[in-house]
Structure 1
Amino acid sequence: MKKKIILLLISVLFLIISCGGSKKSNETGELEGEIVFWHSFTQGPRNEFMKQAAEEFMKKNPKVKIKIETFAWPEFYTKWTTGLQAGQVPDVSTALPNHVVELLQADALVPIDDVIDHIGKDRFYAAPLTEGELNGKHYSIPLYSHAQVMWYRKDLLQAAGLEVPKTWAELFEAAKKLNNPPQVYGLSVPMGLGDMMATRFLNFYVRSAGETLITKDGKANLTSKAAIDGINYWVNMYKAVSPKGSVNFKVLDQATLYYQGKTAFDFNSGFQIGGVKQNSPDLLDKIAAAPIPKINATDPEQGIETSNIPVIVWKNSKHPEIAKAFVESLYEKEKYIKFLHSVPGGMLPALKDISNDPAYLDNPIIKQFQDTITVINNAVDKGTAIGMESGPKPEAGIITSQGVIEKMFQEIILKNVPVEEAAKKAEKELNDLFAAAK
């Protein structure tokens, strides 16, 4: 018996020596190692901010190295889907809500409730947190929010004696009256493959009618009356007032036209403000935003499209403690406000207390566009990511990433395929993709 006890004590002592004798960064409190950070802020002040944030973190943690790689959103989706199969994914990254749903299905993320709790869970708006929640754990943390609204040129409307459109019919008529190509187009209708812009525009119309592109039971909805009406609306708008090249436009092509003052109306978030300021500063006091139009002016308000851009930590990370510490550092008050001010009005705070913080509000653009930012804030509060109106769904990632709706519009425009025929074909293709993903 004594021999067994002695052997047990020797074993315990060996375990203590072998585990406690090696000096690990997490035991000494000093972070050590290299992580890879992917983000989609490919240019401008946000790109510079992330570089500076990484440099500051490495300065405070001299044994840490952060390698940054940037990818545009469409490229990012391809990068992580192929990278996941090859085991070549980052330690930490930005993402889109639909990406998070797919990544959860692939068991590719680690929970970050500890980070959320350290920052203060009650400081976050509830809805963005739920987009990355699974079985009571949170796998994403919202960095900022924005919502789609209708942008217009105040000066053009005033010169034509027009009111701000409140319905789709009013928008169609106003766009036709303001259409004066090539100086100004009434509205550009983007349909480019490799992006989700046509899906976004169709979603505006369908959501305003009280329907969704993905039903509660996870089926595609392209053949209902609201969906067919929406497809016809955008086809007719394209033919009436849009530059013909917009059939191939992606998000940057679309936005640049408005930035340059070449479209009277557009749909976008508060990022329009920074784009106009950079490209056509003389037009800055001539732009404003209004809610997404309705079918009828008396229709109830519908949540349209809100984007809550999160940060995630990948399961393959060898240093999740470094990844999490870096993520948490982005929310330090002074640093976080600096990040939001890199695109004032474009990125709205994910933290409730920051929304009313004098330091955040003390920005000339935020002051100038106070009414417009209120419109966007109201839209943020009501909307969801496309396809996630009844909760996170993997189908939402498919409908926004596979270009099925964009291809449908191109077949209607370029090949004269009848709307109902093209819609039926696209709906079946989406439902087949949905079924294959299960």
Structure 2
Amino acid sequence: MKPKRKLIASILTVTLLATSFIGCSKSNNEKEAVTPTNSETTDTSTNEEGGTVNKELSASLTFAIWDNNLNDFIEENDMVGKFQEQYPNIDIEVEKIKDDSEYWNTMKIRTSANQLPDIMFNKTFTLSRFKEYLVDLTDTVAASNNELASGYAIDGKVLGIPLTSGYEYVYYWKDLFKEAGVEVPTTWSEFEEVAKTLQAYYEKDNKDFMAIACGLKDSWPDYPYMEFMPALESGNGQNWNTMATQDTPFSEGTDIYKAYTKVHSLFTSGVLGKDPLGLGNDQATTLFSTKGAAMIALGDWGLQNIKGATEDVSQLGTFYLPTRDTESDPYNVIVQGDSFMGVTTHSKNTEAAKAFVEWFYSDAWYPDYLNYVSSASSMKNFPKDKDPVLAEADTLAPDKVLVMYDGGGDDFTAIQNTTTFDYKMLGAQMSISDFDLNKEFDKLNSAWKDARASLGIK
């Protein structure tokens, strides 16, 4: 069978998606997994990781993604063709969805329509949301070789295998720091002061300068602060689940209260420039890459985007966001599994879909992808040295304490949906100078308590 390579660029609106399901329902129902019944005629072999390769598997699978870097790598390296060298009778249709926001909206609609793709990605905070629609991958070789998969198991089941290990960094320009006379901060108060000094120094000549680039027009780029800082405050990677057990988690003295008070102080100090709500993430990253900003907080994946927007990274450095109050406090650093690949229960070809997952994390594909991206490996059998730019953060924080982040379980998600608590949107609101954070805390506490009562969560 000649290798087939299909790529769908999906930027559909909700309305178009709803109507398109009528036309594609027939093709989904026609999918069949053809597996020989006579084991003597089954063409099998063993791959380098010890998994069994059944070359007689026949299927047509859909693989949905949102990641631009992964999509580029798939296009440039003929993923489908390479996969079909081992599985010549399985065709993979790659569906590229515009971004993660549209991705989750799309998957929600398809859940109701019984039309999830055969293979999908999840985040830490969506695993529990889709747990009823994901196949247990505990018995796969890929899961056993993954450093983080078992740590994110739900009810004892591995429902997704992290593609990479994600770390969060503050990227900065060393030459801009040096000229302004500031050094890498190691506490939160130092971080604020450094940002203020940089803003005052450079905005005299550049009114568009941002000490910290953050494209709040998209709302989500504030996630290093709004999503992770409550967990960093006390080193509790389960902080969202802890909140689900509390009636008033936004009260003074709680981790989220302390973290968001710090963020509010930072966001209203002028260090985000004159109009952070007027820029999206791509614009903010470009601004930083051209040294129109001194710092930007992004995951390790951000390095690739920065390198793509500038020719010279010789002065580019990183440090971990210093949320601690004093140098005697633990230097907590977030680590999390990112992009959990899973097989859905809507697939008519789960054996073939599992075969693709095994192949993806095998020597046939994963090491080359890992070398292409700046993210850290999640696989024990494929270790990877960090890029020198990212490794600097480890050198600057030899005493760091890793906090394994969990995106929140069922109870938290249910309360969050009932109260419409959106931490990323809340961060965008904080950039407005007259925003009353304490008033918002009171509203959230009241709504949170009522939601727990109405949902019967104890």
Residue 350 in 1 paired to residue 378 in 2? yes
**Cα separation, 2, equivalents of 1:415 and 1:402:** 23
Between Structure 1 and Structure 2, the one with more strand by share is: 2
> Could you tell me which amino acid in structure 2 is paired with residue 342 of structure 1?
Y
Deviation by residue 1:88-124 (Cα, 9 ceiling, x = unmatched): 21001121121111111xx111111232xx3471x32
**Cα separation, 1, equivalents of 2:400 and 2:346:** 33
Deviation by residue 1:341-384 (Cα, 9 ceiling, x = unmatched): 121xx2211112321xxxx55xxxx5643633746998998223
The equivalent position to 1:57 in structure 2, one of 79, 83, 87, is 83
The equivalent position to 2:250 in structure 1, one of 214, 222, 236, is 222
Compute the RMSD of aligned alpha carbons: 3.4
Call closer, same or farther: CA 1:145–1:237 in 2, change over 3 Å. same
> Could you tell me which amino acid in structure 2 is paired with residue 41 of structure 1?
D
User: 1:265 is paired with a residue of what secondary structure?
Assistant: strand
Structure 1 residues not aligned, in runs of 5+: 1-22
Between Structure 1 and Structure 2, the one with more helix by share is: 1
Which stretch has the larger CA shift, 261-270 or 167-176? 261-270
**Cα separation, 1, equivalents of 2:256 and 2:284:** 23
* Match of residue 78 from structure 1: 105
Residue 130 in 1 paired to residue 173 in 2? no
Residue 173 in 1 paired to residue 197 in 2? no
The equivalent position to 2:123 in structure 1, one of 69, 89, 96, is 96
- Work out whether residues 228 and 420 of structure 1, in 8 Å CA contact, stay in contact via their aligned partners in 2: no
TM-score by length of 2: 0.75
The equivalent position to 1:236 in structure 2, one of 246, 251, 265, is 265
> Could you tell me which amino acid in structure 2 is paired with residue 135 of structure 1?
D
> Could you tell me which amino acid in structure 1 is paired with residue 87 of structure 2?
N
- Work out whether residues 183 and 262 of structure 1, in 8 Å CA contact, stay in contact via their aligned partners in 2: yes
- Work out whether residues 59 and 91 of structure 2, in 8 Å CA contact, stay in contact via their aligned partners in 1: yes
* Match of residue 226 from structure 2: 202
**Cα separation, 1, equivalents of 2:398 and 2:410:** 24
- Work out whether residues 192 and 406 of structure 1, in 8 Å CA contact, stay in contact via their aligned partners in 2: no
* Match of residue 8 from structure 1: none
* Match of residue 335 from structure 1: 365
- How far 1:272 sits from its partner (Å)? 2.9
Q: Aligned pair count? A: 394
Which stretch has the larger CA shift, 206-215 or 399-408? 399-408
- How far 1:432 sits from its partner (Å)? 5.7
Structure 2 residues not aligned, in runs of 5+: 1-32, 43-53
- How far 1:253 sits from its partner (Å)? 4.5
* Match of residue 259 from structure 1: 289
**Cα separation, 2, equivalents of 1:87 and 1:395:** 25
Larger radius of gyration: 1
- How far 1:242 sits from its partner (Å)? 0.9
> Could you tell me which amino acid in structure 2 is paired with residue 222 of structure 1?
F
> Could you tell me which amino acid in structure 1 is paired with residue 134 of structure 2?
L
The equivalent position to 2:138 in structure 1, one of 109, 113, 117, is 113
Which aligned runs of 4 or more in structure 1 are off by greater than 6 angstroms? 375-381
Residue 25 in 1 paired to residue 54 in 2? no
> Could you tell me which amino acid in structure 2 is paired with residue 130 of structure 1?
G
**Cα separation, 2, equivalents of 1:244 and 1:432:** 38
* Match of residue 286 from structure 1: 315
